[in-house]
Amino acid sequence: MSGSPIRKPIVVTHEHGMRFAAQVRQHRVITDQSERAGGADGAPSPTELLAAALGSCIALYVFQFCTSRGLRHEGLRVEVLAANATSPNRIAELQVTVRIGETLSPHVREMLERVVRSCPVHNTLAHGAAVSVAIAERAKLEAAAS
């Protein structure tokens, strides 16, 4: 793995039905599927959380930008609309709208657009991330431990 490793892995376990729990440090994040997809709609789906991660990251960066420049941030709102695709099943497009209660000069607006595009989640989605997968079978893990 290149770059700085995450200190602890995020561990995801099955709870019931289509519901899973992800342990992220001391935080427990639940995912579920919509009723249409066979779940109980008790939590956001993983792809909804991906869109929420993007919106939250952008909101943080916009907030920090506004705060550092004395711009009003009351009413700051980031809306993320996801368009799905198939073959392979994925999010094809994420449309982001940043709503801010301040009138911006063209120069500040340009700087803010650069800030939005600099958040780590945006950069990960825009530039991709290597994803490696390993299958650890229980019997093989027990044999290796003996």
Q: What is the pLDDT of residue 141?
A: 63
For residue 61, report the phi and psi dihedrals to the nearest 5 degrees.
-65, -40
Please give the share of the chain, as a percent, with pLDDT higher than 90.
83
pLDDT in tens, 31-43: 999 999 999 999 9
Residue 96: predicted pLDDT: 97
Reduced to 3 states (helix: H, G, I; strand: E, B; else coil), residue 72 is coil
Q: Quick one: pLDDT band at residue 6, thresholds 50, 70, 90?
A: low
pLDDT class of 80 with cuts at 50, 70, 90? very high
Given a cut of 90, is residue 19 above it in pLDDT? yes
Encode 65-89: b = buried (16+ Cβ within 10 Å), e = exposed: bbeeeebeeeebebebeeeeeeeee
Q: What phi and psi, each to the nearest 5 degrees, are found at residue 127? A: -110, -10
Higher pLDDT, 69 or 140: 69
